[in-house]
Every structure is written in structure tokens, then in C-alpha cells.
Amino acid sequence: MNGPIDPAAFFDPATHSFARVAVAVPRCRVADPAFNAEQSVALLQQAAREGAALVLFPELGLSAYTCDDLFHQRAVLDGCEAALARIVDASAGVPTVAVVGLPLRVDHSLFNCAAVVQRGKLLGIVPKTYLPNYGEFYEARQFNPADHAQSAAVQLLGQTVPFGAGLLFEAEDVANFKFHVEICEDLWVPIPPSSYAALGGATLLLNLSASNITVGKSAYRHALAEAQSARCLAAYLYSSAGQGESTTDLAWDGQALICENGQLLAESARFAADSHFISADVDLERLARERLRQTSFGQSAARHGEQLATLRAVRFELGLAPAPQALLRRTVERYPYVPANAASRDARCHEVYNIQVQGLTQRLSASGIRKVVIGISGGLDSTHALLVCARTMDSLGLPRSNILGVTMPGYATSPRTLDQAHRLMRAIGVEAREIDIRPSCEQMLKDLGHPHAAGEKQYDITFENVQAGERTSKLFRLANFNDAIVVGTGDLSELALGWCTYGVGDHMSHYNVNASVPKTLVKHLVRWVAESETALVTDAQVLLDILGTEISPELVPGDAAGQPGQSTESHIGPYDLHDFFLYYILRFGFAPSKVAYLAHAAWHDAALGAWPEGEHVQRQAYDLATIKQHLRTFLFRFFKTSQFKRSCVPNAPKVGSGGSLSPRGDWRAPSDSEATVWLDELARIPDA
């Protein structure tokens, strides 16, 4: 095991494989390279002060894109080389890599190029591969495409510099920091050069663009950059020309984008009057792990070996200084399964419900069964499952009375949850029954010789599970008797933590609609129905009352005032954190130290970040010591004690890309593994 992580290092984003990147949009002047260089130098220096490892500039930024036939003027070309020299000089001693655009003469031809500069050196020159020559573009009039070049290296500013479209720039001192450069139109073709670069290992794909603005073009750039980052499992940085380009026939909005695996991390204000840049922290480990997980990525690389053989590596050292107090420059959602934006959340809830309904509809249709049996506790999970059953019956054209809802009070059932169970069943219009399980539990406890049968108050695991088992037995026998199937209610969070009794209702059923829905999402699904799907229930208030009920198994008697004797979250910790842990461990396989770092970034200050809009959520904050405490619980329960329960769960539909725990789907693991490596890694984390 490695030693403890130094507290200062723990709070440095780079420790957790984040790399800060920037995209700059300098104000320019047409055919004024000296002015353009000074604007770029100022932005480079600002990006360096903010800890950026790389800063990207627009296409032909040192000359301006709109020079037209001025590109054939020696004064302009000489001025651009002098401007490049100014940037190279300014980069001396600066670790930040600058990627700038300019026209360059090579082999008696003119190329639209990107120059990669760092620490007073030219690391490489990348010419544009595809030249647009349609609509408002006439680049073939002045420039040659990359494959017309004869030289693989050029002499420039007293240096021998690699030259070509297939250069991959790799930092030797930062894992997975490898980038490729393409220029504007290169992204707009069916197979962009960056696609091959990604297969060759590039995690950062850069695009210097000019891209005049027309109606609808901004959204199309979004679509291109986000799709390319998703398809290539990479980050995609995009810069376009802004204020100062010629408006003889065109206009410019200066749009800058940073995307990561299909998600937008940062975007600039468009039509800005002054020079500006955006930055974000790209998760290099996340990209590498996605490529590892998605085995078809490696298969695709193997199939394109001939193209990948043309790529050339350019290695360098970043040598970035540690930044222990740097705040992570990206949004880390507190609820990764629940969109913070209200409209996005409503769309997510609508889709989740339809996936669950489609799954149950198909199961009933395929089996020829027209009825379902479901246990109703008056709590969250059974409420959500009952709502899914109701919509399923509606979609099949069957009466809701084909749902047999059964509430089964026991020794610890509170008046509140019993009342909520009955109100819920009335509001949905199911066939409702109540079965008191205490007589059958008394017989079972007597048969076992349990002290409770002799009048002692021994509320042990046997006492609890006798109740759970009696409820399950009755559900299955009711299903037999009514030619129905039992619909399960246990959720993803409970499966992850093993917070379910083996072989009983929260674990076993004929079909479970909730098995891949985490607890935090269940809450929002129920609230969404209460607020927007009023046709499902005649009394939406009962759903809000259920949302306000403390989560409890209600298996140990409470106090005289009717308060429950058990609190789930007091025992195992808050589901808010457990669902956060589950997402990053199940979906990405991150180490505990990184999960804790991300949780701290999201949860350490209740005043920071976005909370779900329109929700009455508790604005809770958790310090690092508390996060460690609950993460230890999660790791032990998830990896050590609970897999045997997950290895035999019923069929259930997968609803989200965050993963499921079905042994037939996303998660296959031995039931008797150890949690040592995770707990040892957790022990490396400082307390504060």
C-alpha cells in the first residue's frame, strides 16, 4: 500500500488526473500580426496564471482568417512568422502549451497551420487537412491541404520542427495527457482526422476554427463538438474567430467550447467585444477508463492499424507546479442520477417511468398474466412501484383493480405509514387489502423458540426477518391464488448496500421494476408524479406526505408517540452520499480517494453549486471526515458483504447509463471477494 496522501496534494485537482485546459478568443485586426500576437500573449499569460496546461487559439489567429488574397503578400507572411517568434519568446519559462494559427510557407506551398508552442520551443506544426471551397469559403485559392506537403519537418525560427497532420503531442510527466490538433473543416467531414488520433491514444482533441456565424450554426457546432467528443471518448476543445475579423460579407461570434465525452464543460459568451478565454478541468482518468470499459474502442483501433501507423509522437514535459488550493473547475453534480435543471429532470423522470412501464408491460404480455400483486408499506419504493403498475395497466387497457395492493402491518408499523398505504391505494384505484401479519409471526417465533414468544422484548435480526419473510410468503401465495405475479419494490441503492433481506420482498419477486433506480431518483420520480402526472392519482397530497416520511424498515417497535424505532439513514448513512459513491464506483471504477475528492468538491459547502430546482431538499454539507466515514461503510458493504444478494436478483429493466447491479447485465462479481484494497486506499485519504 502506498503511504498517506499529503493533505495539500489531496486537494490538488492534478492528483486526481484532472488537467486544466483553456480556449481563447482574442480580439484581432486583419493583416496586423503584431497586434494579434500581443493579444494572444496576454491571454497565454493569463491562462498560465490560472494553471492551464494548454490554451487553444482560433484558426489563422495571427493573421486573421479574412485576409483573402493578402495571404499571398510577403509582408503579411513575414509578419506572421515574426508574431510567432513573439509568442515563442513569451512562452519561455511558461509550462502552458499554446496552440496558435497562422499561414506558413513550406516546400513552395502555403499551408493553413497550427503551431504548438511551449517553454520557448516549437513542438510541432500541424497543417489543415481539408480545405473548404464552397459557399463563402475559398481556401483552395490560397492554401494547400496537408497531404500535399513533401516535408515531415521544417526549419522555423532556428528550430527543426516536426510538420504534419498526424502529430500526437504527449506529456511524459502527466498520464493520459496526449493531444491532437485539427483545423476547422477537418471536423466537418465524415471521418475527421481526430478520429484516428483518438484511436491512436489522444485524449484531448483540439480544433482551431474561424467559422463565421449564421443562423443556427452555433447549435450545429455544439452538436459536432459534443458528438465527436462522445464518439472518440475524448475531450474536444473548439475555438472560433471573434471580434475584429472582416465583416465585408460575414459576421463572427467568437464561440469557444470545451466538451468531454459528449458533455459540455464550458462555453464562452458569444459576440464579446474584448479578448477572453474559458477554462475547465478535464478528467483524463475518466476518459481512459471509458476507453478501457468500452472494448469496441480497442477493436476499432485494431481495425485501423494502417491509418494509425502514420501517426507520429511528439513528447514533451509539462512540469506544472502543484496547485493544492485550486478549486476544481468543472461542475460535480451532488445528485449524479438526478439532473439539477427542472426541465431536464422532468424529461428524465418521464423516460424512466416509460422504461419501467415498458418492461412490466412486456413481462405481462409475454406471460399472458393480467394481474399483479404488490406489497404497499406507505414508504417511497413501494409507492413508486405502484405508480408504475398503475400506468402499466392503463397502457394495457386493463382496469387498475387488476392490481392487488396489500398492506401488511406488523409489530412496528406506524399509524402514519399504515394510513399512507391505504390513502395511496385509494388514490390509485387498486384492489386494496390489509393483512395483519402478527398472528402468523407469533406462530413462527413460537416454532423457533424465540424469546419473544415467551414475552421477552428481544428485537434481533430473527425478529425482524420473521416479519419480512411472512410478508413475502403472503405476497407469493396471493399471486398464486389470483393468477398474478409479484412486483418487486427494492431499489438500486438498497442492492448496492445489501440493505435488503435475502429472499424476501425487497430482494425477491417475480419481476422488479425498481432494481436499477437509485433512492435519490425514486424521491424525484414520486414528486414528479405529484406535481405533473395528476391523472395517475386522485390525491397528490398523499405522495407529498410519503416524501416527508423518514425512511425506516419499521421492523422494531417505535415509541408511544408513534415515532419509528429505526432510521435507515441513521444506521447506514445518507443515501445522498451513497448514491454519489455508487455512481462513480460502479460507472467509472474510480479509486476511493478520487471518489472522496469528488464528493468533497460537490458537498463540502451547501452554498456552492446547483441544487435541484424547485425541490424542497435539505441544503446539507459534508466535510471530508464525514465523507470518509460513510464511504468506508459503502465500500465494506458493497465489496465485502452484499454481492451474494445481487447474484440472484429477479429480472428488472435497466433504466440508466449509470449502471445496474444485475448479474446478467452490468455487474458480475464473486460473492466472496475482499474489500481490502478499497479500504486500504481509503485509509490514505487525509481527514481534512
Active-site residue, selected from the candidate residues 80, 113, 184, 500: 184
Nearest to 261 by CA among 219, 290, 285, 300: 290
Distance separating alpha carbons of residues 325 and 263, to the nearest angstrom: 26
Instruction: Please say whether the beta carbons of 132 and 185 come within 8 A.
Output: yes
Distance separating alpha carbons of residues 334 and 274, to the nearest angstrom: 34
Q: In the structure grid, which three cell numbers stand for residue 72, read together?
A: 499571398
The order of strands in the sheet holding 276-283 is: 121-127, 109-118, 97-106, 54-56, 18-25, 276-283
Q: Is 184 a known active-site residue?
A: yes
Instruction: Provide the β-strand partners of residue 680.
Output: none
Q: In the structure grid, which three cell numbers stand for residue 600, read together?
A: 468533497
Instruction: Please say whether the beta carbons of 162 and 116 come within 8 A.
Output: no
Instruction: Please say whether the beta carbons of 29 and 244 come within 8 A.
Output: yes
Active-site residue, selected from the candidate residues 28, 67, 81, 128: 128
Q: Is 128 a known active-site residue?
A: yes
- Give the 3-state secondary structure of residue 171: strand
Nearest to 202 by CA among 231, 225, 232: 232
What single letter denotes the amino acid at residue 211? S
Nearest to 65 by CA among 26, 107, 96: 26
- Give the 3-state secondary structure of residue 126: strand
Q: Is 349 a known active-site residue?
A: no
Distance separating alpha carbons of residues 627 and 621, to the nearest angstrom: 10
Quote the crossing angle between the two packed helices 624-636 and 676-683, to the nearest 10°: 170
Instruction: For CA atoms 513, 584, 582, 421, give the dihedral sign.
Output: negative
Instruction: Indicate which residues carry an active-site annotation.
Output: 59, 128, 184
